[in-house]
Structure 1
Amino acid sequence: MTLIFAHRGSAGTHPENTMSAFKEAARVGADGIETDVQLSKDGEVVIIHDEKLDRTTNASGYVKDRTLMELKTLNASPNFKGKLGKENIPTLEELFIWLNDNQLYCNIELKNTLFLYPGLEEKVIQLTRAYEMDERIILSSFNHYSLVKCHQLAPELETAPLYRDGLYMPWIYAKAIGGSAIHPNFRAAPDFVIQASLSMGIAVRPYTINEEAEMKRLFKLGCSAIITDFPEAAVRAREGLKSR
């Protein structure tokens, strides 16, 4: 069965990368969540997608220039004003504490691209081990050097390169850097790439799948998982195919 990962939580209906978005994903029956991590000024692992605060909070400037205490004063739900109230920027540890109460998988994207956060890999791995999440965590990044470092530090954890453009024989590339999955942009995941990767034992989880027709194509192909902003719609589409 193709699993459904909620992109930044249920980002299509709730403020992205907040606990309300993650809880909504669990409520509607997603199999996992996808989220993003960076480091605060004082070295805490925080959950937020953009390096800049401007789009998803009521502040401006860079995440890396604020301490955790400062980040916690911000509202991570400015675009949902009046609907869900104020939302905090969560820490990865807060997310792990919540994950202890369910069985969701968690794909953590290391935002090690615009800024190279020293120690990000080590801190994410340390928390993963401390909360015994090894079987449920997938580490991904557009920075493949970061993924190689993760694999060297923790070969027991699954790693998956993220990429946007066509990659020749990505199943071979993934194995070459210690990965056991690929996370391509859906435009870079034609049927033959998915089928070849799966046949070589490489899981395929394309992002960001928001159109029902695209969801159904990937479900029918037996794709390992899809990453979507609308997990409720994806669950409904998957159930619809089952009932035929």
Structure 2
Amino acid sequence: MNIFAHRGLSAYYPENTMLAFSKCLDLNIYGIEFDVQKSKDNQLVIIHDEKVDRTYKASGYVKNFTLKELQSLDPVMKGYENREDCKIPTLEEVLTLFKPTDFVINIELKNSKVKYKNLEKDVIKLIKKFKMEKRVILSSFCLKSIIKCNKINSKIETSYLVDKLTYTLRLKTKIFSKIKRYNCSAIHPSFELINKDFVKKAHRKNLKINSYTVDDLEIFQELTNLKVDGIFTNYPNIFPSILD
């Protein structure tokens, strides 16, 4: 079972910040997961929500802030105000941090609600600059985005994110064949979708299964027994010891 730190060590520190990421450096885990969007001045920034409201002391869409404005914001988590390592980081900063490590980097392209121009192209360009093509998985809830990524650079692994609604609308049995046809190497489903049948169908298509967001011990044990390939968790410091 591969353990990915979901937005860094996000159960304890402001999510998707350099602090949350740096706290993972000494953990015995497989990889890191985070989300990328674009600022008003076309910079690649790491933040999950399309709006800053939930995680930072401001209001509005990420796309309406410049990088300088975004990096002036303080996180809402108490005790972490006025810290440089708790500002919204750029993709370049995060790749620089993890370049010397062996971690696999899962980058979620946040382009389902806001259509960022050239998001895929610019992310892949930076990955190539860092020579990290073999260590990155690009994931998205937007299948068109995954198709774009595979056309731009087929050497970088891609994965389709699936929630309960998407899985139902795409007729369950056909979704595995469809995403395999678009050269995905994995499927990233919500844990509530996973059962023996799901695992059998995905693995039959040689699709790895990395499930989000697993913070419950019983669910973790169920997924382990079902031979799920990996999980995204806010507690990457805990689950590796359970595996051991």
Tell whether the structures are fold-level matches, with TM greater than 0.5. Answer: yes
Could you say which residue in structure 1 is the equivalent of 2:193? 188
Are positions 1:10 and 2:17 aligned together?
no
Residues 20/193 of structure 1: CA separation in 2 closer, same or farther (3 Å cut): same
Structure 2 match to 1:78: 76
Please say if residues 70 and 88 of structure 2, whose CA atoms lie closer than 8 Å, have aligned partners that are also in contact: yes
Shift of 1:58: 1.3
Corresponding position of 1:69: 68
| Counterpart residue number, 2:216 | 211
Q: Secondary structure at the match of 2:114?
A: coil
Q: 1:98 to 1:137 in 2, by over 3 A?
A: same
Please give the alpha-carbon distance, in whole angstroms, between the structure 2 residues aligned to 1:235 and 1:63: 34
**Percent sequence identity over aligned pairs:** 37
User: Which residue in the other structure is 1:59 paired with?
Assistant: 58
Go from structure 1 to structure 2 and tell me whether the alpha carbon gap of 1:215 and 1:84 turns closer, same or farther (over 3 Å shift). Answer: farther
SS at match of 1:237: helix
TM-score w.r.t. the length of structure 1 is: 0.92
- Maintained 8 Å contact 2:40/2:66: yes
Aligned residue type for 2:26: R
For residues 6-42 of structure 1, give each alpha carbon's deviation from its aligned partner in whole angstroms, at most 9, with x where no partner exists: 1111111111001111122232322101100000001
Say whether 1:148 aligns with 2:147: yes
Gaps of 5+ in 2: none
Q: How large is the Cα RMSD of the aligned pairs? A: 1.6
Structure 1 spans left out of the alignment, 5+ residues: 240-244
- Structure 2 CA distance for aligned equivalents of residues 85 and 216 of structure 1: 37
Q: What does the per-residue CA deviation read over 1:178-226, in whole Å, with 9 as the maximum and x for residues that have no partner?
A: 2110000111121221133123311000100110111122223332111
Contact 1:14 1:80 in 2 (8 A): no
**Residue 228 of structure 1 aligns to which amino acid in structure 2?**
T
Identify the range of structure 1 (202-211 vs 158-167) with the bigger mean alpha-carbon deviation: 158-167
Correspondence for 1:174 among 179, 192, 210 = 179
| Matches of 2:205 and 2:145, distance apart in 1 | 24
For residues 86-117 of structure 1, the C-alpha deviation after alignment (integer angstroms, 9 at most, x for no partner) is 51101000011111121111111100011100
Paired residue for 1:233? 238
**Whole-angstrom CA distance in 1 between matches of 2:110 and 2:204:** 30
Contact 1:15–1:80 (Cα < 8 Å) also in 2: no
Of residues 198, 206, 210 in structure 2, which corresponds to 1:201? 206
Cα deviation, residue 127, structure 1 = 0.4
2:4 and 2:32 in contact (8 A); partners too? yes
Q: TM-score, normalised by structure 2?
A: 0.92
Contact 2:9 2:23 in 1 (8 A): yes
- Opposite residue 179 of structure 1, the aligned amino acid is C
Secondary structure class of the residue paired with 1:122: helix
Question: What count of residue pairs does the alignment treat as equivalent?
Answer: 237
- Map 1:88-127 → 2, pairs under 5 A: 88-127=87-126
Q: Is the 8 A contact 2:180 2:205 kept in 1?
A: no
How far is 1:171 from its partner?
A: 2.6
1:128 is displaced (CA, Å) by 0.6
Mapped partners of 2:13, 2:80: distance in 1: 12
